[in-house]
């Protein structure tokens, strides 16, 4: 998927969870990514975060450590 679309999708999820208390927001964002994003999407997001996370909302960046990397094939 294009980086722009991936950033947009992650930011939409972050916006939803930003109304929650901080810890719940971080857990909710990461849980959503872990449960519903396929491994390639999670890998793309994690790679983007590792490169600095440009364009992502602060919640998405802060939740990075809670996102499970996909298993190696």
pLDDT digits (tens, 9 = 90+) for 11-33: 999 999 999 999 999 999 999 99
Q: Is residue 55 part of a domain?
A: yes
Percent of the chain residues topping a pLDDT of 90? 96
Q: Is residue 22 part of a domain?
A: yes
Whole-prediction pTM:
0.93
User: Averaged over 43-67, what is the pLDDT?
Assistant: 97
Q: Is residue 72 part of a domain?
A: no
User: Averaged over 47-66, what is the pLDDT?
Assistant: 97
Return the C-alpha torsion angle 62, 68, 29, 31, nearest 10.
-150
Q: Is residue 73 part of a domain?
A: no
Q: Is residue 58 part of a domain?
A: yes
Confidence of residue 40 (pLDDT cuts 50, 70, 90): very high
Domain span at 39: 3-66
Q: Is residue 71 part of a domain?
A: no
Domain total of the chain: 1
pLDDT at 72 over 90: no
């Amino acid at each position: 998927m294009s980086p722009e679309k991936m950033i947009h999708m992650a930011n939409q999820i972050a916006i939803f969870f930003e109304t929650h208390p901080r810890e719940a927001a971080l857990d909710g964002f990461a849980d959503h990514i872990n449960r519903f994003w396929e491994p390639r999407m999670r890998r793309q997001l994690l790679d983007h975060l590792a490169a600095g996370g440009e364009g992502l909302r602060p919640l998405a960046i802060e939740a990075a450590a809670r996102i499970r990397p996909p298993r190696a094939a």
